[in-house]
Structure 1
Amino acid sequence: MIRFENVSVTYEDATETALHHVDAHIPEGELCLLVGPSGVGKSTLLGTVSGLVPHFTGGTLRGRVTVAGRDTRTHKPRELADVVGTVGQDPLAHFVTDTVEDELAYGMESLGLPPGTMRRRVEETLDLLGLNELRDRPIATLSGGQQQRVAIGSVLTPHPRVLVLDEPTSALDPGAAEEVLAVLQRLVHDLGTTVLMAEHRLERVVQYADQVLLLPSPGAPARLGDPAELMAVSPVRPPVVELGALADWSPLPLSVRDARRRAAPLRARLEGRTPPAAPAPAPEAPVLAQTARLTLLRERVTALHEVTLALRAGETVALMGRNGAGKSTLLGSLVGLHAPTSGSVSVGGAAPHRTRPAELLRHAGLVPQEPRDLLYADTVARECSSADRDAGAEPGTCRALVSELLPGIPDGTHPRDLSEGQRLALALAIVLTAGPPLLLLDEPTRGLDYAAKSRLVALLRDLAARGHGTVLATHDVELAAEVAHRVVILAQGEIVADGPTGEIVTSSPAFAPQTSKILAPEPWLTVPQVREAL
């Protein structure tokens, strides 16, 4: 169905090849998972399937890509639209209409499908993706995860033969991610749809893959093969595979179920030991921000209801909950983006919605879900220089932070040409340059591979040790297990759980990390904890 023949891509003015020597054939009716570190060319490879590369992005495509027998060099994206459905990393760039139902219908209207067929498929997709309650909502009012589901739904309704998905579960809560993956499974198994998917959260998807297409490093040839065999040599691996490698299991497990069946000897070795406790902030540590019975209405919807929360110096808090629970709204309230309807918010002793942004940045800094909202210069170097000036920091401070988070980003690159993970690293470095005591991160691991996430964890631990408070609004249970002292779970704008990380995440199947599920009832949360104990 999809054939890559010695495919390479070079962008104009680039010093290195973006994609190097891909030879692979993906048959009809298979789910192929595209795996590799950040910046290795995964999004570029996906773009060659839909024809966006090179027709839209520019650059030089060498070799040949065919989809259902159509050569993407001679067929532009509009000539492939009836065969290929594409969802990119940024759902906002995908939307054409204003409301959910209109967006689901738009692709079918473009293909001239009969009204009766359109109506039936819209209803089916609303039910498949749990979007029925949102059908009349303006897309601009939805959470990032809800927008992601709408974007996926809009490419499902035309019933394409090939689906190309770039980080489809990155902004979804664990439950919604399972629903989307179940839909993809049904499309593959029942309808013979071919799915090519890039995803950094391998713990969610690797067990569903029929094949893995591995891009090991820039310049290295791609490899296509059995998921377990390629995970053994992949530079990016989910916790279940890392734990299997640590325990010397062969073949390596890809699912929690496979790992649990073989984990009895490992549980026996760990019996009687306890994971090392992360140093918690002192109870008398100063409060950096707090809310008191905070209620907030947005578009006549109660986004937050009587939220009372205190955030202390040296504390890392993971804010979790399903899409639309109010996590981003709460972070926005802490930086003055939303005025309380009732109750109060205090950051650094002042009400943030009444404080000038330049003054507020001395107390709290937000890295939003869309990092591009903070980026306005035309090169990475100019973004960094501007951040140094605005923060009154030593020249080179921001650039050093970018290199620490994600090495290898060239100075002359335009921010829009960076991958999602690279843009996040740049936006995070810009906010950190100002050194605010309270750091607010909205989905900070979206687009980051495991190595980049490990560097982020080290940075956050260092910030906590230096007395900074951090709040992470995240669906990444592995990140919460690694770095958070405390987990707060929101549901329908209310706090439903608030306590130590180990206690909260292990009590919920949805929010438990893979290591915890495999080694339960032993209290282990992460592979590094197990490695240290052994």
Structure 2
Amino acid sequence: MIHFNQVSVVYADARTPALDGVDLTVPEGELCLLVGPSGAGKSTLLGAVSGLVPHFTGGTLHGTVTVDGRDTRTHRPRELADLVGTVGQDPLAHFVTDTVEDELAYGMESLGIAPDTMRRRVEETLDLLGLADLRHRPLSTLSGGQQQRVAIGSVLTPHPKVLVLDEPTSALDPAAAEEVLSVLQRLVHDLGTTVLLAEHRLERVVQYADTVVLLPGRGRPPVIGSPAEVMAVSPVHPPVVGLGRAAGWSPLPLSVRDARRRASELRARLVGEPPASRAAEAAEPVAEPVATVTSLGVLRGTVPALDGVTLGLSRGEVVALMGRNGAGKSTLLRTLVGLHKPTSGRVTVGGVVPHRTPATELTRRVGLVPQDPRDLLYATTVRGECANADVDAGAAPGTCRDLVLRLLPGIDDDVHPRDLSEGQRLVLALAVVLTARPPLLLLDEPTRGLDYAAKARLVTVVRELAEQGHTTVLATHDVELAAELADRVVILADGEVVADGPTADVVTSSPAFAPQVAKVLHPQPWLTVHQVERALGAAS
């Protein structure tokens, strides 16, 4: 169905090719997973299938890419629209209408599909993706995860032969991600749809893949094989694979079920070796309050987004804010920086009321990295963005650039921020906010687009900030990040706090929010591969 023959892509002024000599065949009715570090060329490879590369992105494509016999060099994206459905990393860039139902129907209208068929497919897709209650909602009022589900649904309704998805579960809560992946499985197994997707959260998807393509980056050739073959050598792998490596299992497990079947001996080895707690790994948070939220209510239009939320944030604390899409996580963060005015209750940050405080004063107390990092980026180069951040924060020249290099080495100083990958843009925005070193740091989906290595570096930076007394709140669906980093987890549902406590207590009590290691080693209280590795090392 999809054939790459010696494909290379070189962008103007780039020092190295984005892709170099790729040979790849994806048969009809297979799910092919692209993995690799941020900036390795995954989005470029996906764009070459849909025709966006090079027709819309620029650059030079060498070699040939054919999809169901059509050469993407001679067929522009609109001439592939009936064949290839594409969802990029940014769902907002995908939308062309105003409401959920209209967006689901638009692609079919463009292809001239009969109205009665359109109506049936819209209803099917609303049910498949859990969007029925949102059908009349304006797209602008949806959460990031809800927007992502609508974007996926809009390319499902025309029933393309090929689906190209760039991080389709990155903004979805665990339950919604499972729903989307089950839909993709049905399309592959029952309808013979060919799915090519890139995803950093491999714990969600690797067990469903037929083929895995590892793009190492830096001009090195791709590694192609079965999931087990590639995961055995891949530098990026899900926690369950890391657990298998630590335990010496062969072949490596790809799913929690595979690992649990082999974990009895490992559980026996870990008896009497309690995991190191977060309190033992880092300094205890100081009781000094940084922010307080009391009986907070917020309306988004006529929709109650928060209702009676009471929360205290202490100095040096790392808090993971979790819950399903639309639960109110982003609204709470935005209220803490004064972007939403409470309709009831009270919010104070550093002794001031955010929505009544001038922005120049508030930024010395709190910084927010939003889901869309472009909201913070306005310079024409990475160098310019970093220089502006240093000036705005009153920091020494080079402070922001040093943070960028530390979080994600290899970003070119002269590249325009819009030409970065989603993960690279996020790192740049994060560095811009961190340059000011605010006492309270708010991160909205901070690992979206980040590979495991970049995520590990983020964990290190946030822990260092906590040791220095900075407080961090992460609104995230990444249960592995919460297990690795957070002292405390707060779960929101329909705008209300339904759980608030130590990470180990909260995440292990909920199958939806439990990390892979906790599921494999249940009922023992292990959360991360690092904890297990330390215990095994101490026992040997």
The two structures have a TM-score, normalised by structure 1, of 0.99
* Amino acid across the alignment from 1:451: A
Alignment of 1:141-290 (within 5 A): 141-279=141-279, 282=284, 284-290=286-292
Residue 232 of structure 1 deviates from its aligned partner by 0.5
Q: How many residues align?
A: 534
Q: Tell me, yes or no, if the aligned pair for 2:173 and 2:477 is still in contact at 8 Å.
A: yes
Give the structure 2 partner of residue 355 of structure 1. 357
Write the deviation string for residues 216-261 of structure 1: whole angstroms up to 9, x where unpaired.
2321111221110110111101000011111111111000000000
Q: 1:369 aligns with which of 371, 377, 380?
A: 371
> What SS class does the counterpart of residue 305 from structure 1 fall into?
strand
Residue 293 of structure 1 deviates from its aligned partner by 0.2
> What SS class does the counterpart of residue 487 from structure 1 fall into?
strand
Q: Tell me, yes or no, if the aligned pair for 2:381 and 2:417 is still in contact at 8 Å.
A: yes
Give the structure 1 partner of residue 395 of structure 2. 393
Distance across 2 between alignment mates of 1:428 and 1:401: 9
* Amino acid across the alignment from 2:165: L
Residue 475 of structure 1 deviates from its aligned partner by 0.1
Residue 282 of structure 1 deviates from its aligned partner by 4.7
Distance across 2 between alignment mates of 1:4 and 1:331: 44
Runs of 4+ aligned residues of structure 1 deviating over 4 Å after TM superposition are 280-284
Write the deviation string for residues 459-483 of structure 1: whole angstroms up to 9, x where unpaired.
0110111100000000000000000
Residue 109 of structure 1 deviates from its aligned partner by 0.5
Alignment of 1:124-523 (within 5 A): 124-279=124-279, 282=284, 284-523=286-525
Write the deviation string for residues 146-200 of structure 1: whole angstroms up to 9, x where unpaired.
0000000000000000000000000000000000000000000010000000000
Residue 401 of structure 1 deviates from its aligned partner by 0.5
* Amino acid across the alignment from 1:470: T
Structure 2 segments unaligned to the other structure (5+ residues): none
Structure 1 segments unaligned to the other structure (5+ residues): none
Q: Tell me, yes or no, if the aligned pair for 1:239 and 1:515 is still in contact at 8 Å.
A: yes
Q: Tell me, yes or no, if the aligned pair for 2:286 and 2:316 is still in contact at 8 Å.
A: no
> What SS class does the counterpart of residue 489 from structure 1 fall into?
strand
Distance across 2 between alignment mates of 1:426 and 1:282: 29
Identity across matched positions, percent: 76
Distance across 1 between alignment mates of 2:91 and 2:217: 27
2:104 counterpart of 1:104: yes
Q: Tell me, yes or no, if the aligned pair for 2:285 and 2:317 is still in contact at 8 Å.
A: no
Compared with structure 1, are the counterparts of its residues 389 and 224 closer, same or farther at alpha carbon in structure 2 (3 Å cutoff)?
Answer: same
Q: Tell me, yes or no, if the aligned pair for 2:236 and 2:452 is still in contact at 8 Å.
A: yes
* Amino acid across the alignment from 2:420: L
* Amino acid across the alignment from 2:210: D
Distance across 2 between alignment mates of 1:119 and 1:480: 41
Distance across 1 between alignment mates of 2:436 and 2:462: 15
Q: Tell me, yes or no, if the aligned pair for 1:281 and 1:313 is still in contact at 8 Å.
A: no
Q: Tell me, yes or no, if the aligned pair for 2:148 and 2:172 is still in contact at 8 Å.
A: yes
* Amino acid across the alignment from 1:215: L
Residue 285 of structure 1 deviates from its aligned partner by 2.7
* Amino acid across the alignment from 1:525: L
Give the structure 2 partner of residue 32 of structure 1. 32
> What SS class does the counterpart of residue 278 from structure 2 fall into?
coil
Q: Tell me, yes or no, if the aligned pair for 1:20 and 1:218 is still in contact at 8 Å.
A: no
Across the aligned residues of Structure 1 and Structure 2, the Cα RMSD in angstroms comes to 0.8
Residue 378 of structure 1 deviates from its aligned partner by 0.3
- Deviates most, 16-25 or 368-377: 16-25
Residue 375 of structure 1 deviates from its aligned partner by 0.2
* Amino acid across the alignment from 1:188: V
Distance across 1 between alignment mates of 2:251 and 2:88: 33
* Amino acid across the alignment from 2:199: E
Write the deviation string for residues 305-325 of structure 1: whole angstroms up to 9, x where unpaired.
010000011100000000000
Residue 49 of structure 1 deviates from its aligned partner by 0.1
Write the deviation string for residues 345-403 of structure 1: whole angstroms up to 9, x where unpaired.
00011100000111001100000000000000000000000000011110000000000
